[in-house]
Chains A and B, each alone.
Chain A
């Protein structure tokens, strides 16, 4: 299997649930990202994990918790979410974090919070 794989593709959860999104990249990259894509809004960077840096967007609520056990896997743990957290969550990877490192995206997890 190649590229960036995200599971599940769709997730419906109540506000009191705990769930996790999984991302796996098979490209040999060493940087991984979580983005949030909401309707009519620009992509929002949530977290970056790489050998060179770890970035956390300070505006991301603590109910989102990332985990990066190795360079190929990235998780996003979710708990006590709000309806406004419903969105498409995209994982991406790149070879390094230089300005010349294009992002390779997975197909996303469509999250609906009820």
Chain B
């Protein structure tokens, strides 16, 4: 069975600083991995996805994530935080060739940006 763990329920960074949101997964078969973002009073929006092509995945709004099999990690980064990045971020995993209905979401990390 697959699972996903997001380290840190709340991360606060200064505007212009590096953003690093951590995600570790567990899967007995090669996983498909996703990052979603949820702005206040909205639903989730896909940021990026890893589907076994390139290990470094670029997403929207300047975010990227790197798949590291040896570390079972898929951390989300952005070189320079912007005030508009304040939101909740969810890492998610689907194991191998499973259905999209089997997607497992992490508990989320709330990102705050300090002026």
Contact = CB atoms under 8 A, between A and B. Distances in A.
Interface of A: 4, 6, 31, 33, 40-43, 45, 48, 50, 52-53, 55, 90, 92, 94, 96-108
7 contacts: A40-B9, A90-B43, A94-B100, A99-B51, A100-B32, A107-B43, A108-B42
A99 B46 contact: no
B107 A55 contact: no
Contact of B105 (A6, A43, A107): A43
Contacts, number: 66
Interface of B: 9, 32, 34, 36, 41-46, 49, 51, 90, 94, 96-101, 103-108
A105 B98 CA distance: 20
A99 B105 contact: no
Q: Is the interface of A mostly helix, strand, loop or mixed?
A: loop
A4 B108 CA distance: 22
A99 B44 contact: no
Contacts of B104: 42
B99 A103 contact: no
Contacts of A92: 43-44
Given A48-B101, A100-B51, A105-B43, 19 more contacts: A31-B101, A40-B9, A40-B107, A41-B107, A42-B107, A45-B101, A52-B99, A90-B43, A94-B100, A96-B100, A98-B99, A98-B100, A99-B32, A99-B97, A102-B34, A102-B46, A103-B100, A103-B103, A107-B43
